[in-house]
Amino acid sequence: MWKKYLSKAFTDSNVYFVDIGCGPGTSGLAFAELFKETPFRYVGIDLSNSMRKKGKTLLNALNEKTSHQNILKIYLTKSIEKLPENFPKKAAIIFNFSFFFGSKFLNNDLLKTYAEKILKIVKGKNQPRVFISYTNSQYLTHSKRYFEFLKLLGFEQSNEEFISDLQKVTISYYTRRKLLATKKDETFYRELFEMT
């Protein structure tokens, strides 16, 4: 569903995948795999220097070992303030928040900084298309900060209305420990929307 929706938005666009709380870049790896035909620029933002280093290693390895090599540039930083406010014409920017809002390091000041920067980019000179991608665990206490963030972006819904907009997804996978494969189900919430 998301691939079909975003693929239309990416036509003739300069695509930027901005991975907030990027960790080792696994969301960027998944994005590169899902959109093999889409060249994009990856921007990973994480407070941890070791996570940024690991992300750069993994993303470079993917780009070198695959035939599609769709990551045009990899940029990792610890602050969203390093992002420009004006992007090129026909830019499509995906701000990815994957398990970010449950972080114990996220405080009100940081939340406000992210929201203000995104709003400046939305209103930037070339008015890029801006998408918010959210994924978090099924525990709604982890989504509470996301709802606060949405309000900082100017959305005026109640938490109950925000919850009703989220898509609940369950995936099954196998873990492997000491030669025993165990099936696990994981449920999480996700949402994708374009800011206008």
Please report, for the chain, how many H helices and E strands are present, in that order.
Answer: 6, 7
Q: How far apart are CA 6 and CA 170, in angstroms?
A: 22
pLDDT tens, residue by residue, 129-148: 999 999 988 777 778 889 99
Report which residue type is found at 130. Answer: V
pTM here? 0.89
pLDDT at 176 over 80: no
DSSP run (H or E) holding 41: strand 40-45
Distance CA 147, CA 106 (A): 13
pLDDT at 187: 81
DSSP for 74-136, please give it.
EEEES-GGGS-S-PPTTEEEEEEEES-TT-TT--HHHHHHHHHHHHHHHTSTT--EEEEEEEE
Domain 2-195 has CATH 3.40.50: yes
Domains in the chain: boundaries: 2-195
The mean-pLDDT minimum among 9-23, 76-90, 160-174 falls in 160-174
Whether pLDDT at 37 is above 60 = yes
